[in-house]
Amino acid sequence: MAEAFPIRKIIHVDMDAFYASVEQLDNPDLVGKPVAVGGGGKRGVVSAASYEARKFGVRSAMSGVLARQRCPELIFVRPRFDRYKEISTAIHKIFHEYTDLVEPLSLDEAYLDVTENKKGNPSATLVARDIRDRIKEKTGLNASAGISVNKFVAKVASDINKPNGQKTVPPEEVIEFLEGLDIKKFYGVGKVMKEKMYRLGIFTGKDLKSKPIEFLEEHFGKSGAYYFNIVRGIQNSQVKPTRTRKSLAAERTFSENISSEVFMLERLEDIAAEVERRLKKSKVAGKTITLKIKYSDFTLQTRSRTLPYFVSTKELLMENVKDLLFQDKMRESVRLLGISLSNLNNEDKTKEDKPPPENSIDVQLKLDF
């Protein structure tokens, strides 16, 4: 049944402990030592950990305090995103030597569709090896790769022989591979979904496959069909070279919880300035402004409002953020504030051409009575 579609060759390339490896590369003193990139302060979070650190159980997204508990020798390094970006660009250049169908997921991860590649190499496995060699040669960094017929399997596969390895799941093995896969490895299955699946007696791909689509849709709603297909090796999601941004945000965690709105406003000014900077860089503006508030008890609250027009400046952002901030009382002191802007004006214009494009009509504003 999968034969109905032309078999594609997708490679998922994932840099090994990217940020940490870059730091070790640039600073040889760090080589062979447990390194964590991120803030080491009270509220710092580990963005990336070197393999030496991972042995101690240090993981990315772990709090700095916990990481230090697990590995007292851990060396914290401040992230240097500009440098990572620079290396990422170099790596992308290598990708483009093989194919233009590159979909970046983040600075250190990307999907490549090499069904037809510029080198004319029919073996995706060899292409992947080639790419990894080139990355090592150019940047001195290790990359892992997963090769298969769709993005999902390729991504799962890239984890198998990590670090500095690769895994090919050929078309004839895809079904078997998926059947044997622990359900928690499925893309889109997080902690909550895993619990739910386990409760329903779904532990592996095989269990998932045994369930009829109706059953899945009943329990998982719209995602049901996705799971039904994915476990059968059906995923037609294309490798999209450009993704349109859906939202843009900036946020800050404070070293001390704040409870006064005055101080919050002060911080929000900075955050708004950052959002403005990012908006300028991406050349977008947005209509929906969301204020994100994380209280000291870690509960999250968002307040948002959609304007009839697009905003892109700090002043306009702040004007609305201020309203959102004062709209309601703060339940607790606040540990994190963030501003996000969505409903951006970079959406596919072709879609909106048919009905009168509401977005392009400039909006007459009203006095606020």
Partner 1 sequence: MKFIVSSSYLLKQLQVLGGIINSNNTLPILDNFLFDLDGNTLNVSASDLETTISSKLDVESSEKGSVCIPARLLLDTLKTFPEQPLTFTVEDNNTVEISSNHGKYALAYASGEEFPNPVELKDPFSTTIQGDILATAISKTIFASGNDDLRPVMSGVFFQFSTESLTFVATDAHKLVKYSRADVTANQTAEFIMPKKPLNLLKGILAASEEDVIIEYNESNAKFSFDNTEMVCRLIDGKYPNYEAVIPKENPNRLTIDRTQFLNSVRRVSIFSNKTTHQIRLKCAGAELNISAEDIDYSNKAEERLTCDYQGDDMQIGFNSRFLTEMLNNLTSDDVSLEMSLPNRAGILTPVDGLDEGEEITMLVMPVMLNN
Q: Does residue 368 bind partner 1 (CB under 8 A)?
A: yes
Is 255 within 8 Å of 42 (Cβ atoms)?
yes
Among 1, 192, 262, 365, binds partner 1 (CB under 8 A): 365
Residues with catalytic roles: 109
The residues in 268-297 that bind partner 1, with binding defined as CB under 8 A, are 285
Using the minimum distance from each CB to partner 1, give the nearer residue, 186 or 310: 310
Q: Please, which of residues 16-45 interact with partner 1 by CB under 8 A? A: none
Nearer to partner 1, 25 or 307 (CB): 307
> Which one of 3, 315, 329, 355 is in contact with partner 1 (CB under 8 A)?
315
Alpha-carbon span 84 to 43, nearest angstrom: 23
Q: Smallest distance, Å, CB 236 to partner 1?
A: 35
Nearer to partner 1, 28 or 356 (CB): 356
Nearer to partner 1, 183 or 341 (CB): 341
For residues 309 and 261, what is the distance between their CA atoms, to the nearest angstrom? 27
Q: Which residues contact 365 (CB under 8 A, 6 or more apart)?
A: 308, 309
Token representation of residue 127? 């292409």
Min separation Cβ 351 and partner 1, Å: 17
Identity of the residue, 192 or 365, whose beta carbon is nearer to partner 1 in the bound complex: 365
Beta bridge partners of 342: 247, 288
Q: For partner 1, which residue of 89, 247, 327, 360 counts as binding (CB under 8 A)?
A: 360
Q: How far is the CB of 368 from partner 1 (least distance, A)?
A: 6
DSSP E strands, 67-222: 75-77, 102-106, 109-113, 143-148, 166-168
- Closest contact distance (angstroms) between CB of 302 and partner 1 is 23
Q: Under rule CB under 8 A, which residues in 165-224 are in contact with partner 1?
A: none
Per the structure block, which two tokens stand in for 85? 């970006």
Please report whether residue 362 would count as binding partner 1 according to CB under 8 A.
yes
CA distance 70 to 134: 35
Distance CA 286, CA 310 (A): 5
185 secondary structure, DSSP code = G
Return the exposure string of 193-204: e unless at least 16 CB atoms fall within 10 Å of the residue's CB, then b. Answer: bbeebeebebeb
Among 80-88, 184-192, 215-223, 353-361, the segment contacting partner 1 (CB under 8 A): 353-361
* Least distance (Å) between residue 285 CB and partner 1: 8
Binds partner 1 by CB under 8 A, chosen from 308, 328, 331, 352:
308
Give one DSSP letter per residue of 172-236, joined into a string. Answer: HHHHHHHHTSBGGGSTT--HHHHHHHHHTT--BHHHHHHS-HHHHHHHHTTHHHHHHHHTTT---
The reply to whether 345 sits near partner 1 by the rule CB under 8 A is yes
Give CA–CA dist 346/343, Å, rounded. Answer: 9
Q: Is 366 in the site for partner 1 (CB under 8 A)?
A: yes
Distance of CA 206 to the CA centre of its chain: 28
| Neighbour order of strands in the sheet with 300-311 | 247-258, 334-344, 286-295, 300-311
Binder of partner 1 out of 234, 249, 316, 330 (CB under 8 A): 316
* C-beta closer to partner 1: residue 71 or 318: 318
- Using the rule CB under 8 A, give the single segment among 40-48, 82-90, 121-129, 302-310 that binds partner 1: 302-310
**Interface with partner 1 (CB under 8 A):** 285, 308-310, 315-316, 345, 359-369
